[in-house]
Amino acid sequence: MARSETGRASPPPPSRSGGVGAGGVIGAALLGAVLALGGAWVLAANGVLPGFSAAPQAEDGDYATTDALNGVNEEVARLRDQLAAGESGEAAPAVDLAPLEQRITALENSTADLTSLRQSAEEASRTATTAQEGVQGATEASERSSRDAADALKQASAANQTAGAAQQAATNAQQTANSAQSTAQSALEAAESAAENATSANEAASAASSKVDGAVTDLGQRLAAVEEANKRAATALAAANLKSAIDAGGPFAEQLETYATTAGAGEATESLRTFAAEGVPSERQIAQQWPEVESRISAALSPPRPNAPVGDQFMAGLRSLVNVRSSDTPPPADQSDSAVLARLDAAIRSGDLEGFVSEWDELPENAKEASADFADNVKARLTAQQIVSSTLQDAITGSEPASTDAPTTAEPANQG
């Protein structure tokens, strides 16, 4: 069947027979099937069919091209040729292909807009690709955000765990602090109790210390008293030994040194050192020496006149040898020579050596020179007696031994 220049099929020639053969039926069926499938595919690709509007967007290679449609047209032409050949060989009845040709014509016309549809589809594809890229970028951003959110969630979870651990540590620390405070309070109470006990013990110790101090003080006083008593006893013993040595009339240097060491050296002991080597005459020896000394004093008080008569000189000599005086001691107001000699004699006889020294000090110088050696012996004896008396008195009364001022002494006279 020939086609016109406008692309439309020329009407078939009049059928020569009134029936269609089996080949014609089969060919028509195949042609109808191919046309139906091609038309359905085109309509579905363009979204005409309602059941395929929601189909996925086709890719660029899925659109029907002009070459594909030309192939379909060639196949249709080939089928027409076969039908024509079949008609010439067999006396098949003529088939009315006008409706089929109309459908093919409509299909061909629909392909005229295929280029614009393809361009629109390509533009839509590019738009979809751009949108897909944007969606992919948004998806990637969303994924990054999701990962960041997941990391942030992990960090928040870790921070939450750290905060929980810190809270637990703070709770434990608070419990430890409470326990420490309770322990400190208990320790403070124990310390206060110990302080009270220590205060009580300190007061008791102070009281005991006071008692001990009192006892020690009392004991010290007793020991001091005992030591003092021992010292006084030793001093008294040394003084007694010194008195015995002096009374014996012999040397007493050893006894004097013992006394000076025990009682302490003083003016009195130093005055006795002059007589320590030879000794001090006893009172008996002094009494024995007195008459001779008395004669020298009497001669010095009443010397004979060189031009006196012989009788007067003889009587003066007799008075120097024999002294006659009353038994009563003259009063101190009587300063006559006989009264002075009477008082000196009475002092020697009674052992009043201090009275003798006091009276002797009132004599004239010539009388003192005549009896100086005897006066020194008397003063030494008096000093020894005063030392011994003072020491013994101090030992008895418990007072410190006092230095006894001895009368002025001279060098010991020759006792020979």
Nearest-5° Cα angle at 208, 204 to 210? 115
Q: What are the residue ranges spanned by the domains of the chain?
A: 22-112, 235-397
Is the distance from CB of 298 to CB of 341 less than 8 angstroms?
yes
Give residue 7's pLDDT.
Answer: 47
Give residue 96's pLDDT.
Answer: 63
pTM for this one? 0.39
Give residue 405's pLDDT.
Answer: 47
Give residue 363's pLDDT.
Answer: 92
Tell me the CA distances in angstroms from 413 to 38, 362, 379, one per residue in order.
191, 21, 12
Q: Give burial (CB, 10 Å; 0-12/13-18/19+) of 403.
A: middle
Give residue 294's pLDDT.
Answer: 92
Give residue 11's pLDDT.
Answer: 52
pLDDT block averages, 10 residues each, the chain of length 416: 46 49 67 74 64 50 63 76 66 60 71 66 76 75 80 82 84 84 85 84 83 84 85 84 82 88 77 81 90 91 60 51 55 80 92 93 92 91 81 65 45 40
